């Protein structure tokens, strides 16, 4: 059963269950300041999940093309893609848990013919602090459903993903309880990040088991549904919206409860052919075959390159077929980035000539079943993309000429950034050419490049990226507290983990802080606990927070203040110091604002530590 057949099977099945097929939203958004593209199946349905009536009823279904660029650095592994289709169905105050769970299990086992013995599920373990009970109702439904096909489904109390990595699973365990970082849905993330007034609730995720031989125990630890590795892959998520966040931070039950289901078409198609590699499915493998033919190289020996090219060209084609053209702004730049990354990886395969004219028709054929009202510009898509390919190859030639001018015997990170930012000559090619020509790179070229890049990002923050000025949503008291806490967090990371850690971005609201920083590994539980304890120690000491204006050279060389963009700072700048002036806890160049004493902050709690992008980690934390 191929991907197109699975999409149609799903829609037909949902219609049989009383749902109405709705038209999917465009991938390219024009009226949402927080995001550039439709990144999930539920995103267009959010107003109706928030209470607005839908004119097509209370049972809805669709297949939504999505683009999620935050996953771009992960493309190359067996399951991550930037572009995907999300199969979705919704109950707006109609049916609830039992009907949803039974329907999805029936679809997987009766329509797609997945082996029920390879299906594993997760449920929410509850949260006593916020008075949210364990979702035993869903677990019991799952036990009944499994029993009806002859499976005695045991329940496992896992808790956090880290605990699962230590524990693994035991024979007959099939239903797993996890915390709110794994099995709770809100627009903010975990329970503590749920926005006031929003509907939210537990979710029950469904996983397919590709077999014990697919798990790298030495790398990831024992396998369990929420673990990394290739054994388990999530193929569907059922969100049960049954709560609302109250103004006082508590939760109350909704009068009308909703179901929001989303299942990745590509992942379900991979499960249907029992392949942990989604690039083997019918809608992607033909692209790989074409790349093998053009390059004369095999997928087995060039897996990462071919996965990136196939994924990025699928995304670029869908965007072009919906009328987007490459540019240097917002969505157009994202599209351009996909095309250029694909061409650069093609160079790695030895494809130095234009190749989209041969590759794109293969992609277009796979999307023939999508109607013209979704892909309204499909007739122009190939010409648009081929034109961009030719233009980028000219850009590469210009970049090489400029590189010849700049780099005689050495090259630093600022010059590499200029080549990329001004001439479109990518970082990877600058470095490769330098090595090839024997041009010496400066010792800290990567740090120099990152500094230039981060400053440019700071200058060009836009509403479309959902960023706030200075990383702060506003300047109210709670937000200011979180801003000061971010300084303490950075200081703790530098003291306890690595003195070279620096801030790579932040997003601070009145309810939480989100802090990005450079680190080449996932933090251990012990590291997170140590950082949390260090911050709370400084808070308990009620340290003073002071600011003063200094000459830039004095701040940098004498005070040793922490800063990211010294070459770009003005001659006079503001430095915030936390603690004793002679031996401070933190001393940073910052525009403020901050509180006056750390004792005002309360208790600091790290809620999540995760990957943000390649080499960059993200901490989400709250003040209690």
pLDDT (tens digit, 9 = 90+) per residue, 64-78? 999 988 778 788 888
pLDDT band at 298 (very low <50, low <70, confident <90, very high): very high
pLDDT band at 475 (very low <50, low <70, confident <90, very high): low
Angle at 269 between CA 320 and CA 183, to 5 degrees: 95
Compute the distance between CA of residue 611 and CA of residue 324 in angstroms, rounded to an integer. 30
Kindly tell me if the per-residue pLDDT of 61 is higher than 60. yes
Q: Which of 212, 288, 201 is nearest to 244 (CA)?
A: 201
Is the pTM above the cut of 0.75? no
Residue listed under structure tokens 């630890």:
221
pLDDT band at 471 (very low <50, low <70, confident <90, very high): very low
Q: Which of 277, 299, 281, 278 is nearest to 289 (CA)?
A: 299
pLDDT band at 459 (very low <50, low <70, confident <90, very high): low
pLDDT of residue 472: 47
Residue 107, both tokens: 């679809």
SS3 state at 425: coil
Kindly tell me if the per-residue pLDDT of 509 is higher than 50. yes
pLDDT in tens, 308-339: 999 999 999 999 999 999 987 778 888 988 99
Range(s) of the chain covered by CATH 3.30.930.10: 3-280
Compute the distance between CA of residue 437 and CA of residue 429 in angstroms, rounded to an integer. 12
Kindly tell me if the per-residue pLDDT of 474 is higher than 80. no
Q: Which of 271, 236, 281, 265 is nearest to 6 (CA)?
A: 265
Taking residues 172-194, what's their average pLDDT?
93
pLDDT of residue 611: 86
With the CA atoms of 245, 246, 252 and 257 taken in that order, what torsion angle do they form, in degrees rounded to the nearest 10? Answer: -50
Q: Which of 430, 124, 119, 78 is nearest to 281 (CA)?
A: 78
- Determine contact, residues 226/206, Cβ cutoff 8 Å: no
Taking residues 217-223, what's their average pLDDT?
86
pLDDT of residue 549: 79
Compute the distance between CA of residue 356 and CA of residue 447 in angstroms, rounded to an integer. 35
Q: Which of 313, 318, 314, 335 is nearest to 370 (CA)?
A: 318
pLDDT band at 33 (very low <50, low <70, confident <90, very high): low
The answer to which of 93-107, 258-272, 334-348 has the lowest mean pLDDT is 334-348
Compute the distance between CA of residue 614 and CA of residue 261 in angstroms, rounded to an integer. 30
pLDDT band at 342 (very low <50, low <70, confident <90, very high): very high
Class of 469-623 in CATH: alpha beta
> Which of the two residues, 501 and 582, has the higher pLDDT score?
501
CATH code for the domain defined by 3-280:
3.30.930.10
pLDDT in tens, 560-588: 888 877 776 777 788 889 998 788 999 98
Distances (CA, A) of 176 to 99, 123, 161, 164, 189: 20, 6, 11, 10, 20
Kindly tell me if the per-residue pLDDT of 232 is higher than 50. yes
Residue 63, both tokens: 């297949």
> Which of the two residues, 189 and 149, has the higher pLDDT score?
149
Compute the distance between CA of residue 357 and CA of residue 385 in angstroms, rounded to an integer. 9
User: Which pairs with CB-CB distance under 8 Å and at least 24 residues apart come from 14-17?
Assistant: 14/59, 14/61, 14/89, 15/61, 17/59, 17/103
pLDDT of residue 464: 30
Residue 590, both tokens: 């910052």
The contacts of residue 520 (CB under 8 Å, 6+ apart) are: 615
Q: Which of 129, 220, 143, 142 is nearest to 179 (CA)?
A: 129
pLDDT of residue 406: 83
pLDDT band at 126 (very low <50, low <70, confident <90, very high): very high
Q: Which of 622, 611, 619 is nearest to 490 (CA)?
A: 619
Residue 370, both tokens: 């999508």
Q: How far is CA 539 from the centre of its chain?
A: 32
Q: 597 - beta bridge partners?
A: 544
Q: 505 - beta bridge partners?
A: 516
Kindly tell me if the per-residue pLDDT of 41 is higher than 90. no
Kindly tell me if the per-residue pLDDT of 466 is higher than 70. no
Strands 604-613, 503-508: pairing is: unpaired
Highest mean pLDDT among 27-31, 44-48, 386-390: 386-390
pLDDT in tens, 355-369: 999 999 999 999 988
What is the percent of the chain where pLDDT is above 90? Answer: 57
Taking residues 216-237, what's their average pLDDT?
90
Compute the distance between CA of residue 173 and CA of residue 194 in angstroms, rounded to an integer. 31
Kindly tell me if the per-residue pLDDT of 462 is higher than 60. no
pLDDT of residue 92: 95
Range(s) of the chain covered by CATH 3.30.980.10: 469-623
Angle at 210 between CA 207 and CA 212, to 5 degrees: 110
pLDDT band at 548 (very low <50, low <70, confident <90, very high): confident
pLDDT band at 469 (very low <50, low <70, confident <90, very high): very low
Residue 154, both tokens: 């045991």
pLDDT of residue 364: 95
- Determine contact, residues 608/615, Cβ cutoff 8 Å: no
Q: Which helix (H) or strand (E) holds 219?
A: helix 217-220
Q: What value does the mean pLDDT of the chain take? A: 89
Residue 383, both tokens: 């010409």
Count of positions (residues) in the chain: 624
């Amino acid at each position: 059963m191929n991907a197109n057949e699975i999409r149609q099977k799903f829609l037909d099945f949902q219609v049989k269950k009383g749902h109405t097929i709705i038209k999917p939203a465009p991938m390219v958004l024009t009226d949402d300041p927080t995001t550039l593209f439709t990144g999930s199946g539920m995103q267009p349905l959010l107003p109706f999940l928030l209470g607005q009536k839908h004119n097509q009823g209370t049972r809805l279904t669709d297949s939504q093309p999505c683009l999620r660029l935050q996953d771009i650095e992960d493309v190359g592994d067996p399951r991550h893609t930037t572009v995907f289709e999300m199969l979705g169905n919704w109950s707006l105050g109609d049916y609830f848990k039992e009907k949803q769970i039974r329907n999805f299990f029936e679809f997987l086992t009766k329509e797609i013919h997945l082996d029920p013995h390879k299906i594993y599920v997760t449920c929410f373990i509850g949260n006593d602090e916020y008075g949210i009970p364990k979702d035993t109702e869903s677990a019991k439904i799952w036990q009944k459903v499994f029993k009806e096909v002859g499976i005695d489904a045991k329940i496992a109390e896992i808790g956090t993903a880290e605990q699962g990595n230590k524990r693994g699973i035991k024979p007959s365990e099939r239903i797993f309880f996890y915390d709110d970082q794994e099995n709770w849905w809100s627009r903010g993330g975990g329970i503590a990040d749920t926005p006031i007034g929003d509907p939210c609730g537990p979710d029950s995720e469904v996983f397919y088991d590709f077999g014990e031989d697919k798990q790298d125990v030495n790398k990831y630890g024992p396998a369990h549904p929420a673990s990394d590795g290739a054994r388990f892959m999530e193929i569907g998520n059922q969100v049960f919206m049954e709560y609302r966040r109250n103004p006082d931070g508590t939760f109350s039950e909704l009068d009308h409860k909703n179901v929001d289901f989303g299942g990745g078409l590509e992942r379900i198609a991979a499960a249907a052919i029992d392949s942990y590699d989604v690039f083997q499915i019918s809608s992607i493998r033909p692209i790989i075959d074409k790349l093998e033919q053009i390059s004369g190289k095999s997928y087995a020996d060039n897996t990462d390159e071919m996965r990136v090219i196939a994924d990025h060209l699928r995304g670029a084609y869908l965007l072009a077929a919906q009328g987007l053209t490459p540019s240097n702004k917002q969505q157009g730049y994202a599209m351009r980035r996909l095309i250029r990354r694909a061409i650069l990886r093609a160079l790695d395969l030895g494809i130095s000539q234009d190749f989209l004219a041969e590759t794109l028709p293969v992609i277009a054929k796979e999307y023939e079943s999508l109607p013209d009202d979704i892909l309204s510009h499909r007739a122009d898509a190939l010409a648009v993309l081929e034109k961009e390919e030719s233009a980028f190859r000219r850009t590469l030639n210009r970049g090489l000429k400029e590189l010849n001018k700049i780099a005689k015997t050495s090259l630093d990170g600022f010059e590499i950034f200029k080549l990329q930012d001004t001439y479109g000559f990518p970082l990877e090619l600058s470095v490769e050419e330098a090595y090839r020509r024997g041009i010496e790179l400066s010792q800290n070229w990567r740090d120099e490049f990152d500094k230039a890049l981060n400053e440019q990002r700071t200058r060009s923050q836009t509403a479309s990226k959902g960023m706030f000025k200075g990383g702060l949503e506003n300047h109210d008291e709670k937000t200011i507290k979180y801003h000061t806490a971010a300084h303490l967090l950075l200081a703790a990371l530098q003291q306890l983990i690595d003195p070279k850690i620096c801030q790579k971005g932040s997003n601070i609201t009145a309810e939480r802080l989100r802090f990005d920083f450079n680190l080449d590994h996932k933090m251990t539980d012990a590291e997170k606990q140590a950082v949390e304890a260090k911050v709370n120690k400084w808070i308990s000491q009620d340290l003073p927070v002071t600011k003063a204006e200094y000459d830039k050279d004095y701040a940098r060389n004498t005070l040793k203040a922490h800063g990211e963009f010294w070459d770009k700072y003005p001659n006079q700048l503001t430095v915030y110091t936390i603690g004793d002036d002679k031996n401070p806890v933190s001393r940073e160049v910052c525009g403020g604002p901050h509180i006056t004493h750390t004792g005002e902050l309360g208790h600091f709690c790290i809620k999540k530590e995760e990957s943000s992008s390649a080499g960059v980690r993200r901490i989400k934390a709250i003040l209690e």
